[in-house]
Amino acid sequence: MHYATRLNSLKSRPELSFPPGPIGTQDLLKRAARIQGLSALSLNFPEHFTPATLRETRETIEALGLGVDSLNIRYPAQPFGDGGFTHPSAAVRQDAIDLTCRALDACGDLGGNHVIVWPGYDGFDYAFQDSYERMFGHTVEGFAQVAAHNPDMRVGIEYKPWEPRKYSVVGNMGEALLVVQEIGAANLGVVMDYCHAQMANEHAPKAAALALRHQKLFGVHLNDGYGRQDDGLMVGTASLLTTLELLVLLERGRYPGTIYFDTFPVREDPVRECEWNIRITERLLGLARELAADPSIGTGHDAFNVTRVIEHLLFPEHVHG
């Protein structure tokens, strides 16, 4: 399994490795290179670099012995605060599409093959504010154009039920898969963020299973939280059993992608935090492979499946059949 991390999470606790002054992308890349077990990077575009700085960014990444797995689109509030693909203005909608297509080009130039699109401003805040049919239709049109821009580049829709808008147009796995189904492009799929699934009141393993059923799970953002907001806690620290079940589903579904740690360390050493995420995921994956090979686990509508899993976790020497 390849592991990537949220580059902005490395901004926390600057006193541990940065001299005083502004923290730039080059500093974050150098900090990422210190993380044991990290094999890939997922940068934000155009936040972390622009076409003008692409060559310098690529050379730094290569010199550090890392690679680029994907790019995450970050649409600036100006001009996209009222929507990107769903903005009332056709000109602004096209600007959002063009920015996304430039990200596909930049990702290819960096050696990656996956652009993750979180349409954060595509949504609404009030009843009667806009036409839901129009917004969904323009969402479909936007993603169709992006997917057609480069059929060799995978495009993943990262859904989130709310924030920054009160309601998102694409707020759960079902809505994301509906967009994918309507377009029907082989290179268009879904990225599931664990905390976003929690916020949508989804059971993350079930949501992943829906996408795996159609071979449309293009990415997994792993983190943890309590479901009320986008907590971005360390992996396995709040809902360990559900995290383990998700990894079992990924093993059984032969998930081919990267696990990206979308966490938000604030008080924690971000290097140590990411190393924990990698270490616990590796250990849980080892257990997940054992459980995935047991056809009696996760079948039969048997509540005692979970007790057997708990015994595997806590008391492996006393596991019962």
pLDDT along the chain (321 residues), means of 10: 92 91 92 95 94 94 93 97 98 98 97 97 98 98 98 98 98 98 98 98 98 97 97 98 98 94 97 98 97 95 96 82 55
Query: Is residue 124 a contact partner of residue 161, using CB atoms and an 8 Å limit?
Result: no
Quick check: is 308 in a domain?
no
Q: List, as one string, the DSSP characters of 46-89.
A: TTT--GGGHHHHHHHHHHTT--EEEEEE---HHHHTT-STT-SS
Q: Work out how many domains the chain is built from and give that number.
A: 1
- What count of other Cβ atoms lies within 10 Å of the Cβ of residue 58? 16
Residue 304 falls within a domain, yes or no?
no
pLDDT at 256: 86
Query: Residue 129 in 3-state DSSP?
Result: coil
Instruction: Confirm whether 94 is domain-assigned.
Output: yes
Buried b (16+ CB within 10 A) or exposed e, 153-170: bbbbbbbbbbeebeebbb
Looking up residue 34, the CATH number of its domain turns out to be 3.20.20.150
307 in a structural domain: no
What does the alpha-carbon distance between residue 174 and residue 190 come to, in Å, rounded to a whole number? Answer: 10
Return the number of other C-beta atoms located less than 10 Å from residue 102's C-beta: 16
In this structure, what DSSP letter does residue 316 have?
G
Would the pTM of this model clear 0.85, i.e. be above it? Answer: yes
Domain contains 70: yes
Domain of residue 164, residue span: 3-294
Q: Which residues of 111-135 are buried (b: 16+ CB within 10 A; e: fewer)?
A: ebbbbbbbbbbbbbeeeeebeeeeb
Domain membership flag for residue 315: no
Q: What's residue 149's pLDDT?
A: 98
Helix (H) or strand (E) holding 262: none
Q: Which amino acid is at 2?
A: H
* Predicted local distance difference test score (pLDDT) of residue 292: 97
* Residue 209 included in any domain: yes
Cα 217 from Cα 211, distance rounded (Å): 5
Q: What's the pLDDT at 20?
A: 85
Structure tokens at 186: 């082989």
Are 235 and 222 contacting, i.e. CB atoms less than 8 angstroms apart?
yes
278-283 long-range contacts (CB < 8 A, ≥24 apart) are: 278/3, 278/35, 278/36, 278/37, 278/38, 279/37, 280/234, 280/235, 280/236, 281/1, 281/3, 281/222, 281/235, 281/236, 281/247, 282/1, 282/37
**Residue 116 resides in a domain:** yes
Backbone φ and ψ for 78, nearest 5 degrees, come out as -110, 110
Tokens 């990411």 belong to residue: 274
Neighbours of 62 (CB within 10 A): 13
Number of Cβ within a 10 Å radius of residue 291: 21
